[in-house]
């Protein structure tokens, strides 16, 4: 177990290093010059551009910039934003709560809906319940997140203005709980609908596999009530792939729910990323990308560990 963990962590660090290096090279080998020129303004004299390059350290040799970048990274220093001169870590810390609330709030909704839907349609395959769920799932999978979000905003503002729901930046629930709900409910539903579709499919398939196993027949033969067979014997074993997917999704989403945040103007990590891309704010882009990859790497390791607890047949070696 500890050897397995060590190997996974080392592999995770390798992935992170690869991501950091790739992103660094992509940006600093190529368009750093363009950035200095853009920051200086369209008609800035060459001296101003050079001065900006000098301030940002863009005139030093590439390997020198890379080494100091890696060194700072190891100390948790992601540099300073080109635009606002704020440390990148501060910007990330400001954007993180919105993303965290969005992801975990939506996760409760989509796990509830997804597992319920999956179980309902797997216990009576090809029945009416199953067909209705299948259609809903297809609609959910086919509907792009941003289109769903825009339709929700349109409905909330033009058709149901009394609902009080509105798009806007994240408000802390400790400061203004009503305002928090006003801006969070729509993004929660939007993200949950899209995710739930995937989980219904996954739970249904996994449940069908599990319910076909011999020990389920044994449980029925022993006279266990159907409800107990479904939930105690079936669902528990069927949840393994669902948990895997959940871990991966949480990891990916924490890195920034780019689309949902942008549609609703939530000001989370994803939107920070998009804004920095538009402004050419390289340190912020790099910092956000590394953080996002870190979430994914950590989530993957946690999933592998959880696997061995859920399914005793899995041995970590």
Residues numbered 267 to 296 that lie near other proteins (CB under 8 A) are 273-274, 277-278, 280, 285, 288-289, 292-293, 296
Nearer to other proteins, 83 or 274 (CB): 274
Q: Which one of residues 145, 182, 195, 210 is an interface residue with other proteins (CB under 8 A)?
A: 145
Nearest CA-CA partner of 294 in 47, 13, 3, 100: 13
Q: Which is nearer to other proteins, 9 or 141 (CB)?
A: 141
Residues in region 172-231 near other proteins by CB under 8 A:
201, 204-205, 208
Least separation in angstroms between CB 1 and other proteins = 21
- Does 255 help bind other proteins (rule: CB under 8 A)? yes
What is the C-alpha separation between 156 and 145, in angstroms, rounded? 16
Pairwise CA distance, residues 177 & 155, whole Å: 23
In the complex, the smallest distance separating the C-beta of residue 89 from other proteins, rounded to whole angstroms, is: 18
Give min distance, CB of 176 to other proteins, in A. 26
Nearer to other proteins, 164 or 225 (CB): 164
For residue 27, give the H/E element and its range: helix 2-28
Interface with other proteins: number of residues (CB under 8 A): 48
Is 300 a binding residue for other proteins by CB under 8 A? The answer is: yes
CB-based contact 230:208 (threshold 8 Å): no
Out of 94, 134, 244, 308, name the contact with other proteins by CB under 8 A.
134
Residue 270 in contact with residue 258, Cβ under 8 Å? yes
**Measured CA distances, 151 to 138, 267, 274 (Å):** 18, 20, 22
Distance (Å, rounded) from C-alpha 206 to C-alpha 212? 10
Least separation, in Å, of the C-beta of 274 and other proteins? Answer: 6
Nearest to 115, CA basis, from 255, 265, 238, 218 = 238
Kindly state the smallest distance separating residue 11's Cβ from other proteins, in Å: 8
Sole window of 66-74, 83-91, 95-103, 152-160 interacting with other proteins (rule: CB under 8 A): 152-160
Which residues are CB-contacts of 269 (< 8 A; sequence separation ≥ 6)?
92, 95, 96, 98, 99, 254, 255, 256, 257, 261, 288, 291, 292
Whose Cβ is closer to other proteins: residue 141's or residue 314's? 141
Residue 150 binding other proteins, by CB under 8 A: yes
- Contact assessment for residue 195 and residue 249, using Cβ atoms and an 8 Å cutoff: yes
Task: Find all residues with CB under 8 Å of 53, minimum gap 6, and list them.
Answer: 32, 33, 36, 59
26: contact with other proteins by CB under 8 A: yes
Q: Is 113 in the site for other proteins (CB under 8 A)?
A: no
293, 256 Cβ separation under 8 angstroms? no
C-alpha span between 199 and 212 (Å, rounded): 20
**Cβ 254 vs Cβ 270: under 8 Å:** no
Choice between 59 and 209, CB closer to other proteins: 209
* Cβ-proximal residues to 81 (8 Å cutoff; 6+ apart), any chain: 87, 88, 91, 276, 281, 283, 284
Q: Which of 91, 92, 102, 137 binds other proteins (CB under 8 A)?
A: 137
Question: Closest CB to other proteins among 129 and 173?
Answer: 129
- Asked if 297 is part of the footprint of other proteins (rule: CB under 8 A), the reply reads yes
Q: C-beta of 143: minimal distance to other proteins in Å?
A: 6
Which residues contact other proteins by CB under 8 A?
Answer: 15, 18-19, 23, 26-27, 30-31, 125, 134, 137-139, 141-147, 150-151, 154, 157-158, 201, 204-205, 208, 252, 255-256, 258-259, 262, 273-274, 277-278, 280, 285, 288-289, 292-293, 296-297, 300
């Amino acid at each position: 177990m500890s050897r397995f963990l060590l190997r996974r962590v080392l592999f995770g660090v390798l992935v992170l290093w690869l991501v950091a290096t790739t992103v660094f090279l992509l940006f600093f080998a190529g368009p750093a010059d363009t950035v200095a020129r853009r920051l200086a303004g369209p008609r800035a004299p060459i001296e101003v551009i050079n001065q900006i390059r000098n301030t940002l350290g863009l005139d030093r040799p590439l390997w020198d910039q890379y080494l100091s970048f890696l060194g700072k990274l190891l100390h948790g220093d992601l540099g300073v934003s080109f635009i606002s001169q704020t440390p990148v870590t501060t910007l990330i810390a400001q954007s993180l709560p919105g993303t965290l609330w969005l992801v975990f709030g939506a996760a409760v909704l989509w796990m509830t809906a997804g597992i319920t839907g999956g179980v309902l349609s797997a216990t009576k395959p090809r029945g009416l319940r199953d067909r209705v769920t299948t259609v809903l799932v297809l609609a959910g999978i086919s509907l792009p997140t941003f289109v769903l979000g825009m339709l929700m905003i349109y409905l909330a503002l033009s058709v149901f203005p009394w609902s009080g729901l509105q798009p806007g930046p994240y408000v802390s629930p400790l400061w203004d709980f009503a305002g928090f709900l006003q801006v969070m409910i729509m993004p929660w539903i939007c993200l949950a609908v899209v995710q739930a579709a995937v989980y219904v499919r996954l739970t249904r398939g996994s449940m069908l596999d599990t319910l076909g196993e011999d020990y389920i027949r044994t449980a029925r033969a022993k006279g266990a009530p159907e409800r107990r067979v479904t939930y105690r014997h079936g669902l528990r074993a069927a949840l393994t792939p669902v948990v895997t997917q959940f871990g991966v999704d949480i990891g990916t989403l924490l890195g920034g729910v780019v689309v949902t945040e942008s549609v609703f103007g939530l000001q989370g990590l994803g939107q920070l990323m998009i804004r920095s891309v538009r402004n050419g704010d390289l340190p912020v882009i790099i910092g956000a990308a590394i953080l996002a990859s870190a979430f994914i790497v950590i989530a993957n390791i946690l999933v592998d560990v959880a696997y061995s607890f859920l399914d005793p047949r899995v041995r970590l070696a």
